[in-house]
Amino acid sequence: MTALLSIEAPAKLNLTLAVNGRRPDGYHLIESVMQALDLTDCVELAPASGGTVVHCTSPGVPTDETNLAVRAVEALRAALPPGRQGPGGLEIRIHKRIPVAAGLGGGSADAAAALIGANALWGLGLDQRELARIGVRIGADVPFCLHGGTAIARGIGEELEPVPAAAPLCGVVVNPGFPVSTAAVYRVYDQLYAEAMAGAGGNDNGPVGLAGVTHGRFLPDGKGRAAAMAEALGRGDVDAVARLLYNDLEPAAVRLYPQILELRQRVLEAGALGAVMCGSGPSVFGLAADEDHAEALAQSLKGVAPFVQVCRFRPDGCRIVRSQERVQH
């Protein structure tokens, strides 16, 4: 008999996303209001002989050492202090529901789930903060995926300020069915920024900055967009949330894939209160007034894209939902 853990791994939505610069090591600094969704992968972990192996049948998900869940487990193993009894191998099975390379943080969610599962199976007793310190080396979204709920993320995404949200909001996630490289989108973002700065004579003028390219963290009146979004969420003001949806990376992603702009327009035409590209794309989130409105949006958008799903805001992150014993054959 061996232990088997099942962990829910929620998708991540950037309600706002502003790029604030770039570190010397190339990582971009952001300020983003992040929200967990009830769109989840299921990650199963069980002890195994040998090293770490991963199984996943979804196209585009690697099943070798490049898989983020495998990398997270090995990073956790490497972080154990010298002399501590080495943990055994792990078998990881990933059941994908979150579209792959879709701007929804699916890979980071799987990595966070693997950290939680390995921590439990190996009896390490590490807390969320310790796991986040390991996880951020694998992906900037991993700390939020561990935390979940609603938070303002700063730095490269690892500095989290929890936001107490009101009653859960909901909407639709629409994915056009093609993958987008986050690295490629950031490269084009850097190009657009350089072009805009050259056109402005190298002068980045104040909080409004270069519209559509940088400084989306400020509203025209100079107020911080993330703070305004947090306040709107706290009030449960769905109309204000809709007005504040924003993504600095959208112009870059649209430069690569014009279909994203067309998709966002279709979501708005279907009646969404507001729409925003998810992460680095290509998925689009459309905010609904309530669940009935979200269901109507999803019905209206059927046929527009291969993936259309009603999603609700979720108050937590990755969590173990089942622990059982299984018989080894």
As annotated, the active-site residues are 12, 141
Instruction: Specify whether the CB–CB gap between 116 and 131 falls below 8 A.
Output: yes
| Contacting residues for 39 by C-beta, under 8 A, at least 6 apart | 10, 11, 97, 98, 104, 173, 309, 311
Q: Which of 134, 156, 131, 159 is nearest to 146 (CA)?
A: 131
105 contacts 11 by C-beta, under 8 angstroms: yes
- DSSP three-state, residue 325: strand
Could you tell me what percentage of the chain is helix, strand and coil, using 3-state DSSP and rounding each to the nearest 5? 35, 30, 35
In sequence order, the β-bridge partners of residue 218 are 224
Sign for the pseudo-dihedral over CA of 148, 154, 159, 163 = negative
Cα gap 276→187, rounded to integer Å: 20
Partner residues linked to 276 by β-bridges: 285
Helical H runs in the chain? 68-79, 106-121, 128-135, 142-147, 182-199, 225-235, 238-244, 250-256, 259-269, 291-301
DSSP, residue by residue, 110-129: HHHHHHHHHHHHTT----HH
Q: Which helix (H) or strand (E) holds 47?
A: strand 28-48
